[in-house]
Structure 1
Amino acid sequence: MDLLGSGREADVYAIGEGRVLRRYRRGDDATAEARLMSHLAAHGFPVPQVHSANGADMIMERLDGPTMADAFAAGHLGVDDGAAILAGLHEHLHRLPSRSGRDSILHRDLHPENVMLTTRGPVVIDWHNAAEGRPAVDVCLTAVIIAQVAADPGHPHAGAATAFLGAFLTRVGGEQLDGLGEALEIRRADPSLTAAGAAGLAAAVTPLIRGAVS
């Protein structure tokens, strides 16, 4: 198998025949994620086709094209177009029936690195953090993640992230910010954040987010 890439939690290998193997390094069970992706695909939401899942392994369709983040960096995608794509994906996802029949399906990590721009259109990857809840929380999680980049003066895309944050929130509407408190609590629990980063998260991103819709 050829290693294609590694994320925070999983490695992805090419296994031929237009397929990849995604393997969780900590042994997380991928079967619930696979069932959710199959549910989404059955309702017309753009996700990679799942061929099988067993334990920490999931075999999926190999996608072509760059991530949205890579397309931005290469100058192949503009801020307004990217914001429209991301806002549209949120709207599409949140109106689909959930498996429980109660709350909406939330991706909870829907940002430009988790959207592939393929020949069949944008496709959303990495459903490991998905849950059910209020759509405003999902929208605000996206805003928080983008604002974290915008708030980092050393990040090469901080300026672009600020512009993207404003364009995205203009698309989704300021009323979605009633999910910000819950989104911040979820984001603080992210194991990739240091204790200091988690403690200072709200102070770092809230002014950027609220300022983008004022």
Structure 2
Amino acid sequence: MQGFLGEKIGGGVSADVHAWTPGQVVKLFKAGASRRLSWHEAQKTDAIFAAGAPAPEVFGAVTLERRFGIVMSRFDGPTLLQLLQTGAMTPGQAGAILADLCLAVHKTPAPPDVPSLRVWMDAMVRGSSGVLPQHIATGVLALIERLSPGDELCHGDLHPDNVIMTAEGPRLVDWTGTIRGPAALDLGFSHIILTEIAPERVDDPKRPRALYAALLAEYARLAGTSPAALTAAIESYLPIVRVLFVLGRAFPALREQFIQRVEAALRSDD
């Protein structure tokens, strides 16, 4: 695919984002990043954009210096996290935007080739031999069967740094973890990121927690349910979210803590 690797305009743990051609970027995955997950993101992001979700359009894939890359539409604007950090937006305002985006994702018809939670967990367990103790893998698969999860489209990594505030409205990036499941599962990712992980990494730990509280309250209002009922539903999926973090090797310093909390939750369900 024709293009030119321009300035780096963003990045994260597994990839860097560079300018490509006018109106496009290339997301270049770092050495060691899972090629299977990279292809998953490329294919599913394209299908999700076509289904009408607030996702980037995918134009193709490239390999540059042995690194796999996805060429996508460029979203210009600050991230929601940047607006929070500068004080241009309050946690309450940001939480309302996240809630609206989250509900928009859940109302988007899930493309048929987006894997279900059960299929995704099976694949992650098989592809990550030795990462997760066998009794945890068995227990969490049984938990999924008991919960009989829903079939909604889930982003799988909803937080302020994945939201770009464009002139046309907020847009979501980083669809690597997209799966079909219940809204409570998607909100479970946000719960752990905003109430457990982010508070340990920012100057003001109250800010991400206030953001999550606003997200939860506004999502409950939009969905026509109570915050208490939504919280209870989210709690039941937190062991599954923690296992997915472990299998995806996200936050490796928290691996043992995640496993211990999953063990405790599975014992309480027995």
Q: TM-score range by the shorter chain?
A: 0.7 to 0.9
- Number of the residue aligned with 1:72: 84
- Higher RCO (CA-CA < 8 Å; seq separation 6+): 2
- Number of the residue aligned with 2:35: 28
C-alpha displacement at 1:182, in angstroms? 2.2
Indicate yes or no: 2:94 matched with 1:82: yes
Check whether the contact 1:149–1:155 (CA below 8 A) recurs between aligned residues.
Answer: no
Indicate yes or no: 2:10 matched with 1:5: yes
Check whether the contact 2:164–2:172 (CA below 8 A) recurs between aligned residues.
Answer: yes
Q: 1:193 aligns with which of 223, 230, 252?
A: 252
Indicate yes or no: 2:147 matched with 1:100: no
C-alpha displacement at 1:199, in angstroms? 4.3
Distance 1:27 1:108 in 2: 17
- Number of the residue aligned with 1:39: 47
Structure 2 letter corresponding to 1:89:
L
Check whether the contact 2:55–2:172 (CA below 8 A) recurs between aligned residues.
Answer: yes
Distance 1:70 1:197 in 2: 29
Structure 2 letter corresponding to 1:78:
T
- Number of the residue aligned with 2:163: 115
Check whether the contact 1:31–1:54 (CA below 8 A) recurs between aligned residues.
Answer: no
Structure 1 letter corresponding to 2:153:
I
Check whether the contact 1:140–1:176 (CA below 8 A) recurs between aligned residues.
Answer: no
Structure 1 letter corresponding to 2:218:
R
Gaps of 5+ in 2: 114-149, 221-226, 263-270
Give the paired residue count: 201
TM-score (norm 1): 0.83
Distance 1:53 1:105 in 2: 24
C-alpha displacement at 1:162, in angstroms? 2.1
Structure 2 letter corresponding to 1:122:
P
C-alpha displacement at 1:176, in angstroms? 2.3
Distance 1:4 1:170 in 2: 33
Distance 1:161 1:17 in 2: 34
Q: For 1:1-59, what per-residue CA distance to the aligned partner results, in whole angstroms no more than 9, with x for missing partners?
A: 23323311111121232221112222524343233222222232211221112573200
Farther-moved stretch of structure 1 (11-20 vs 23-32): 23-32
SS at match of 1:146: helix
Indicate yes or no: 2:237 matched with 1:182: yes
Indicate yes or no: 2:204 matched with 1:145: no
Distance 1:78 1:187 in 2: 28
Cα 1:198–1:27 shift into 2, 3 Å: closer
Distance 1:45 1:189 in 2: 23
Q: 1:126 aligns with which of 145, 149, 174?
A: 174
Distance 1:155 1:184 in 2: 25
Check whether the contact 1:149–1:158 (CA below 8 A) recurs between aligned residues.
Answer: no
Percent identical pairs in the alignment equals 26
Structure 1 runs of 4+ off > 3 angstroms? 29-32, 199-202
Check whether the contact 1:149–1:161 (CA below 8 A) recurs between aligned residues.
Answer: no
Structure 2 letter corresponding to 1:158:
P
Q: Which structure 2 residues correspond to residues 160-171 of structure 1 after superposition, within 5 A?
A: 160-171=207-218
Cα 1:200–1:116 shift into 2, 3 Å: farther
Distance 1:150 1:125 in 2: 19
TM-score (norm 2): 0.67
SS at match of 1:16: coil
C-alpha displacement at 1:164, in angstroms? 1.3
Cα 1:96–1:5 shift into 2, 3 Å: closer
RMSD between aligned residues: 2.3
